[in-house]
Amino acid sequence: MISNTDMYQALVNKDASFEGIFFAAVKTTGIFCRPTCTARKPKVENVEFYVTAKDAMLNGYRPCKVCNP
Predicted TM-score of the model (pTM):
0.92
Could you report the per-residue pLDDT of 13-32, keeping only the tens digit for each? 999 999 999 999 999 999 99
For residue 1, the model assigns a pLDDT of: 79
For residue 50, the model assigns a pLDDT of: 97
CA–CA separation, 30 and 2 (whole Å): 23
The CATH class that applies to domain 4-63 reads alpha beta
Provide the pLDDT confidence category of residue 38 given band limits of 50, 70 and 90.
very high
**Alpha carbon of 13 to those of 7, 39, 55, 61: distances in Å?**
10, 12, 23, 22
Tell me, yes or no, if 33 is annotated catalytic. yes
pLDDT surpassing 90 at residue 55: yes
Residue of 33, 37, 64, 67 marked active site? 33
Tell me the pLDDT of the chain averaged across its residues. Answer: 95
